[in-house]
Amino acid sequence: MIYCPVAIRRVQSGPPAARLRTKARATLSLAEALTRNNEELTLVNQQLQRSNELLQNFAYVASHDLQEPLRKIQQFGDLARQKIVDPELLTYIGRIQVSARRMSSLVESLLDFSRLSDQPPHYQLISLSQVLEEVKSLLEVAITEASPQITIEALPQVWGDKSLLIRLFQNLLSNAIKFSRLDLSGRAQRSIIHISFL
């Protein structure tokens, strides 16, 4: 019992050369593990960069290819408006053109979103009231069909990226219009949407 702590101390202390060899082996193992981890991390980063480049190329090509049919819809709508006199048909053509403009804006937003990793947001002083007017214009068809009661109080100017703010409020307002409550008979109630600054 008396010699036990001494024996433990001897085992722990040991000859200095043996301790150095043990530390050297541990340091070498740690260095090899770190090197392997760095190599794996470099490989994963390269794969991620390639994946991002492919995604950006896809978004650019897809948005370019989708814009052409949307332009044709707009052009044929303009031609049809010149030849049709029936007010109801003119209303339908107008809705088609509004939807085509909205789709074109969504495609442009997709392209903008794909560029976000390369280009930082363009911050400037933005009027939220103007942003919401643009959003209402983009959602004109949905607003006409659902006829929600929308009230917008005076809103401040904020620092931000206009396209990102438009996208944000477009999603919020679109969801508010879409997901209305049901009345007791199971029919969708008219949405009441109030936008204000607290």
**What would the pLDDT profile of 85-143 be if each residue is shown by its tens digit?**
898 988 898 888 888 887 887 787 777 766 666 666 778 999 999 999 999 988 887 88
Q: State the Cα–Cα distance between residues 11 and 105, nearest whole angstrom.
A: 75
Mark out the alpha helices in 14-158 (DSSP H runs). Answer: 16-83, 87-115, 128-138, 140-146
Give the residue ranges of the chain where pLDDT is below 70: 1-17, 113-120, 181-184, 186, 188
Q: State the Cα–Cα distance between residues 178 and 181, nearest whole angstrom.
A: 9
Q: Do the beta carbons of residue 138 and residue 168 sit within 8 Å? A: no
Q: What percent of the chain has pLDDT over 90?
A: 10
Q: State the Cα–Cα distance between residues 100 and 67, nearest whole angstrom.
A: 9
Is pTM beyond 0.75? Reply is no
Q: State the Cα–Cα distance between residues 171 and 139, nearest whole angstrom.
A: 10
Q: State the Cα–Cα distance between residues 81 and 61, nearest whole angstrom.
A: 31
Task: Report which of 187, 180, 100 is spatially closest to residue 140, judged by C-alpha positions.
Answer: 100
Q: Helices 162-178 and 87-115 meet at what angle, rounded to 10?
A: 130
Q: Which two tokens stand for residue 125?
A: 């002083």
User: Can you give the pLDDT at residue 186?
Assistant: 66
Residue 50, CB-side half-sphere exposure with 13 Å CA sphere = 6
In the chain, domain spans: 60-119, 123-198
> What string of H, E and C letters represents the secondary structure of 176-194?
HHHCCCECCCCCECCCEEE
Task: Report which of 110, 180, 98 is spatially closest to residue 139, judged by C-alpha positions.
Answer: 98
Assigned architecture for domain 123-198:
2-Layer Sandwich (3.30)
